[in-house]
Amino acid sequence: MPRSSLVFACLLAGLPVLAEPENLLPVKDFRDGLTGWRLQPGPAEFATVEEDGKVVRLAPRETNFGLDSAPLTLGAELDPGKTYIAAAWLKSEGLTHGVFAFSVCAYDAKGNRLSQMAAHNLSVNSPAHDWQAKSLTFGKATPRALPEGTHTVRLRFSFHDRDGKPGGTVLVRDAAVAEQDPGPFPDWPASILADVGRLQVRFERRSFWSLYRIDHEGVRLGKDSFGSHYGTVANFAGLGFVGTGHTENEDERVIDLELRVDGQRQPVPAESYACERIELRKRSRLRTLDVSSHILVADGRIVEEARLSAREETRCSLIYHFMHPWVHDMSDFLAELPDGSRIEGTFVGDKAQKISRPTRWSAVYSRTLGRGAVTVVWDVPDDLPWQTRYWDVPEVYRKHYFTTFVNAEVPTGREFRYRVVTIPFAADAATWQQAAAAVAAANPRPAE
């Protein structure tokens, strides 16, 4: 580990590092044992100091266990108007029961925990790993704003099992918190709500500026609940998901943003608009992948484009574009395949992936709401496999995925373009399939 966790985390995120950032933690290591650290809960025998106080070995045995840093106080060590990065080097020897988390926790003046923001999670299914620098940003202009009423912040290294019997070993060193540049868009609001004709949509910072709501004529069709993510996400082999609201492994890095409302650029967007047209352009990085996205909402439809390229050959378990978490009221699905045949069915809450084939278009419909949505595929690479999927999760959502690069390498030297249009519609249960087909036929790929 030639670099500190802060320097390594900044370099990994592509941020310039001119000097070692100042570590704001009042107690920065374990040279005085656990003095200044809080066992919550203990006992101390599960925390063994090694390497002359540079490392602590955490190895609980059938007892929930947590080790917290000394507190950082707002108005003293922390400024509520600034951005911060928390980081630590971690080494896992594996878990036998329960889960482990490295997180940032916010507390009120009475010591009640207001939030827990995870930088690294491990479970019994997680492979052991050598030293890795893990980090997250929090505070102003990040997806992790401190809750109202926050008085102190602590780093937390914890093991938990719902039966109270976690087991495993994780080593910690070089824990740190430092001020960080807020990036190029510090004054953008946390959320942008837009009423666009018959549609209402929302974009939000927490998901690195992807969609986070689709309403049609005042009826919620696309969920607005954090954890039900939209946009593009990549599952990197050996790591897991990165992108949009998936921050459990690493943050998406936003490079550039542009919002236009009725054709006019908005340098510092408002929190809400009533307009005829709104479009958001974004350039971002998912580790070694560059993604350019364009979302255009106008004329009762949502056009989404993603352009993907790799800075180095990248092995992925899969990549999802155009995620749409449709509400679980959606009862039926329909799709037209490239050969003109159709697949139809009902959602039964079996957690299965429906369709899982290329489509010309696909649709979902709710018999209780009398509404649905059609997604027409406009552009895909001709020589690569892809699939449309709907994940049927009971009481949660019927989630649309545009699936690419399944257990495949993303090569360098090429840009991959994907584009779809989604059109909500209203229809009665007896004729919804005909209505969906008519909507698809009325929205062909435009000439360019």
Instruction: Give per-residue pLDDT as tens, 121-154.
Output: 999 999 999 999 999 999 988 889 999 999 999 9
pLDDT tens, per residue, the chain with 448 residues: 445 555 555 544 555 444 578 999 999 999 999 999 999 998 999 999 999 999 999 999 999 999 999 999 999 999 999 999 999 999 999 999 999 999 999 999 999 999 999 999 999 999 999 999 999 999 988 889 999 999 999 999 999 999 999 999 999 999 999 999 888 898 999 999 999 999 999 999 989 999 999 999 999 999 999 889 999 999 998 888 999 988 888 889 999 999 999 999 999 999 999 999 999 999 999 999 999 999 999 999 999 999 999 999 999 999 999 999 999 999 999 999 999 999 999 999 999 999 999 999 999 999 999 999 999 999 999 999 999 999 999 999 999 999 999 999 999 999 999 999 999 999 999 999 999 999 999 999 998 7
CA separation for the pair 288, 280 (Å, rounded): 23
The dihedral of CA 410, 314, 209, 389: what is its sign?
A: positive
Residues of the chain with CATH 2.70.98.60: 191-441
The count of other CB atoms within 10 Å of the CB of residue 279 is: 16
Answer whether 153's CB lies under 8 Å from 105's CB: yes
Instruction: List where CATH 2.60.120.260 sits in the chain.
Output: 5-180
Three-state secondary structure readout of 286-347: ECCEEEEEEEEEECCEEEEEEEEEECCCEEEEEEEEEEEEEECCCCEEEEECCCCCEEEEEC
Q: Which fold has domain 191-441?
A: Beta-galactosidase; Chain A, domain 5 (2.70.98)
The CB density around residue 262, as the number of other CB atoms within 10 Å, is 12
Question: What average pLDDT does the chain have?
Answer: 94
Give dist(CA 242, CA 247) in Å, integer. 6
Amino acid 250: pLDDT:
86
Task: Answer whether 34's CB lies under 8 Å from 45's CB.
Answer: no
Query: How would you classify the pairing of strands 272-275 and 191-196?
Result: parallel
**Identity (one letter) of the amino acid at 191?**
S
**Structure confidence by residue, pLDDT tens digits, 225-278:** 988 999 999 999 888 899 998 888 888 999 999 999 999 999 999 999 999 999
Q: For the chain, what's the residue count?
A: 448
Neighbouring residues of 34: CB distance < 8 A, sequence distance ≥ 6: 44, 47, 49, 56, 67
Amino acid at 215: D
Q: Which H helix or E strand runs over 436?
A: helix 432-441
Asked if residues 386 and 358 have their Cβ atoms less than 8 Å apart, the reply is: yes
Q: Which CATH superfamily is domain 5-180 in?
A: Galactose-binding domain-like (2.60.120.260)
